[in-house]
Chains A and B, each alone.
Chain A
Amino acid sequence: MKEINELELPEDVRYSKDHEWAKSDGETIRIGVDDYAQDQLGDIVFVEMPEVGDKFGKDDVFGSIESVKAVADLFMPVGGEVTAINTDLEDAPELVNQSPYGDGWMIEIKVDNSSDLEDLMTKEAYLAVLQGSE
């Protein structure tokens, strides 16, 4: 597994305590799991997704992710309505391992409270949390 200083943590996304990332794209927010989560879980074998149109509050479970080691819940970093899901993950869950912030994205939502994203952590704040849990 990666050391904390080996993790890829881009500056242009925000992070949640549950290791999801969220990135604003004007109208919508794209959500996935970060490098730390995919590295801890190991090889991802299945991602259970919500349906377009489902509505979730912040911290609600929107799906689950299964690796060879364990199954974990996926939590909404911000609340909103699902407008798109990454259907590529159905046949290629390994995209989450290969490109957690790119092709391995999970859902897009129309956010119900735009201030939510600001409550999430910046790279620096998230790094501090990871270091604290060591």
Chain B
Amino acid sequence: MNDNIKQGATGLIMNEPLLWEKGKKGRIGFSLPEADVDAYPLDESLVGHGPDFPDLSEVDVVRHYTCLSQWNFGVDTGMYPLGSCTMKYNPKTNERQAALPGFANAHPLLPQEMAQGVLKMIYDLERCLADITGLDAVTVQPTAGAHGELCGMLIFDSYHKSRGEKRSKIIVPDTAHGTNPASAALCEMKPVAVKSNENGILEPERIAAIMDEDTAGIMVTNPNTLGLFEENIKAIAGIVHGKGGLVYGDGANMNAVMGIVDMGRIGIDVLHLNLHKTFSTPHGGGGPGTGPVCVKKHLEPFLPIPRVIKQDEMYALREDFPQSIGRLHAFYGNVGVMLKAYSYILSMGPENLKKVSQLAVLNANYIKEKLKSTFHLAYDRPCMHECVFSDKIQQANKISTLDVAKRLMDYGFHPPTIYFPLVVNGAIMVEPTETECREDIDRFIEAMKAVAKEAEQNPDLLRNAPVTPKLNRLDETSAARKPCLTG
């Protein structure tokens, strides 16, 4: 440890055994009423050993998980500049609205006339997302970004089939999100990779050279994973449309362009959003999420069912859309997530959503300018909501991106995204989001500079980092090669 570290150096971090080491036979955390029916012997074939769970009391369990939570780091703890993930603060009012008993206790099998509030919320949220993106119709059924991509690719496929065509390829740039080619491949489309140019964006000529009538379209992440706006998107959309293809927009980076870019007018036909990124719903621990899909009018018939429609001031779930790609999820997706995003959109309002994007972009550019002489900047041009550095300068001291990321923990920050995007060797991808104040961003910049200085003067400090968290440098290789998945 050294004097540079002002945060994360102290704290009350307790040891905590595994639950299996903690329990005691016979302890229990609940009580059931006495059985008022006679016991009936179970069929032999149904009887087996129960799971290997420890016996625990309620207080054992609560203290255990509270203790573990204190070892953790989240958006409620501090700045979490994990690029591509939009780890913005999640306002507590979202939780409050989602917990309103009328919403929280609504059973998914309620008759529609008794679930008007939930249906209205879904309907209104879909209208809000249409307004925000500039597209015409929306489904909020997909439960993750990649689920939205799958929905989008199924729509592509159904659209071409409706025209009597089966197209077997899809163009995916090297600056798209990694899940894009996988989603297309699931729909039997072969991804055709295209390289970005020396400025980190797409070149219309390169698209023109590969776009043909066996290609279903293109999947563009805009802003792309380098945090750069695809300036040629309109020309590219023109080329793709010219050959009968469709343009998919991966809107995972929508936080950079809300209220500024009209996705319909730049040529996007289908776009997914991530409510758990842009619209401030929680996404630690892998979910649950929601990946709404927004489409132009001519693709509306293909949206998944059931759809919420409004008729005579009443809301209803309808399934009679013969061209629909079908169901993507049980019931209507993750309603709790929708409520939180709806709460966010209504409490912000249009002007503030635009300001969110402006501040997210400003914050990223501020960090980029302040750190570009300290860390190699892959593409030195104005960025959107995130900026990508690399370890090129630090390599002289045999210090890698991983070492920098680990050392940053000692300064009290969650590390940025590392080794992604793949187009930048040793990438360090920083996305501050709009929710960090100037002072916190300045502290992050100072920490990055201090780490860079340590890399020159005392590189072992980085190689042995982190030292302040409960656990230090983990053996990630063994964890991946020989995973231990049981207690």
Enumerate chain A interface residues (CB-CB to B < 8 A): 1, 40, 43, 45-46, 66, 68-70, 93-94
Give the complex CA separation of A93 and B420 in angstroms. Answer: 23
Looking at the assembled complex, report how far the CB atom of A44 sits from the nearest CB atom of chain B, in whole angstroms.
Answer: 9
Q: Are A1 and B477 in contact (CB under 8 A)?
A: no
Give the complex CA separation of A42 and B420 in angstroms. Answer: 14
13 residue pairs A–B, Cβ–Cβ below 8 Å: A1-B395, A1-B398, A43-B477, A43-B480, A45-B481, A68-B477, A68-B480, A69-B418, A69-B419, A70-B419, A70-B422, A94-B477, A94-B481
Q: Are A45 and B477 in contact (CB under 8 A)?
A: yes
Q: Are A46 and B400 in contact (CB under 8 A)?
A: no
A-facing residues in B374-432 (Cβ within 8 Å) = 395, 398, 400, 402, 418-420, 422, 425
Given contacts A68-B477, A70-B422, 6 further A-B contacts (CB under 8 A): A1-B398, A43-B480, A46-B480, A68-B480, A69-B418, A94-B481
Looking at the assembled complex, report how far the CB atom of B475 sits from the nearest CB atom of chain A, in whole angstroms.
Answer: 10
Q: Are B476 and A68 in contact (CB under 8 A)?
A: yes
Give the complex CA separation of A47 and B480 in angstroms. Answer: 12
Looking at the assembled complex, report how far the CB atom of B327 sits from the nearest CB atom of chain A, in whole angstroms.
Answer: 31
Give the complex CA separation of A40 and B420 in angstroms. Answer: 14
Given contacts A1-B395, A68-B476, contact A93 B481 (CB under 8 A): yes
> Which residues of the partner chain A approach B418 to less than 8 Å between Cβ atoms?
69
Q: Which residue of A lies closest to B398 (CB)?
A: A1
> Which residues of the partner chain A approach B395 to less than 8 Å between Cβ atoms?
1
> Which residues of the partner chain A approach B402 to less than 8 Å between Cβ atoms?
69
Q: Are B400 and A1 in contact (CB under 8 A)?
A: yes
> Which residues of the partner chain A approach B480 to less than 8 Å between Cβ atoms?
43, 45-46, 66, 68
5 closest residue pairs by CB, A with B: A45-B480, A43-B477, A69-B419, A68-B476, A45-B481
Give the complex CA separation of A46 and B476 in angstroms. Answer: 13
Give the complex CA separation of A66 and B425 in angstroms. Answer: 16
Looking at the assembled complex, report how far the CB atom of A66 sits from the nearest CB atom of chain B, in whole angstroms.
Answer: 8
> Which residues of the partner chain A approach B400 to less than 8 Å between Cβ atoms?
1
Give the complex CA separation of A45 and B418 in angstroms. Answer: 18
> Which residues of the partner chain A approach B420 to less than 8 Å between Cβ atoms?
70
Looking at the assembled complex, report how far the CB atom of B416 sits from the nearest CB atom of chain A, in whole angstroms.
Answer: 14
Give the complex CA separation of A68 and B402 in angstroms. Answer: 10
Looking at the assembled complex, report how far the CB atom of B485 sits from the nearest CB atom of chain A, in whole angstroms.
Answer: 15
Looking at the assembled complex, report how far the CB atom of A69 sits from the nearest CB atom of chain B, in whole angstroms.
Answer: 4
Give the complex CA separation of A1 and B401 in angstroms. Answer: 11
Looking at the assembled complex, report how far the CB atom of B258 sits from the nearest CB atom of chain A, in whole angstroms.
Answer: 30
> Which residues of the partner chain B approach A1 to less than 8 Å between Cβ atoms?
395, 398, 400
Looking at the assembled complex, report how far the CB atom of B294 sits from the nearest CB atom of chain A, in whole angstroms.
Answer: 30
Looking at the assembled complex, report how far the CB atom of A105 sits from the nearest CB atom of chain B, in whole angstroms.
Answer: 19
Looking at the assembled complex, report how far the CB atom of B400 sits from the nearest CB atom of chain A, in whole angstroms.
Answer: 7
> Which residues of the partner chain A approach B419 to less than 8 Å between Cβ atoms?
69-70
Q: Which residue of A lies closest to B395 (CB)?
A: A1
Binary contact readout B326-347 vs A (1 if CB under 8 angstroms, 0 otherwise): 0000000000000000000000
> Which residues of the partner chain B approach A66 to less than 8 Å between Cβ atoms?
480
Give the complex CA separation of A1 and B419 in angstroms. Answer: 14
Give the complex CA separation of A93 and B482 in angstroms. Answer: 11
> Which residues of the partner chain A approach B481 to less than 8 Å between Cβ atoms?
45-46, 93-94
A-facing residues in B419-460 (Cβ within 8 Å) = 419-420, 422, 425
> Which residues of the partner chain B approach A45 to less than 8 Å between Cβ atoms?
477, 480-481
> Which residues of the partner chain B approach A94 to less than 8 Å between Cβ atoms?
477, 481
Q: Which residue of A lies closest to B425 (CB)?
A: A40
> Which residues of the partner chain B approach A70 to less than 8 Å between Cβ atoms?
419-420, 422
Binary contact readout B247-271 vs A (1 if CB under 8 angstroms, 0 otherwise): 0000000000000000000000000
> Which residues of the partner chain B approach A43 to less than 8 Å between Cβ atoms?
476-477, 480
Looking at the assembled complex, report how far the CB atom of B397 sits from the nearest CB atom of chain A, in whole angstroms.
Answer: 12
> Which residues of the partner chain B approach A40 to less than 8 Å between Cβ atoms?
425
> Which residues of the partner chain B approach A93 to less than 8 Å between Cβ atoms?
481
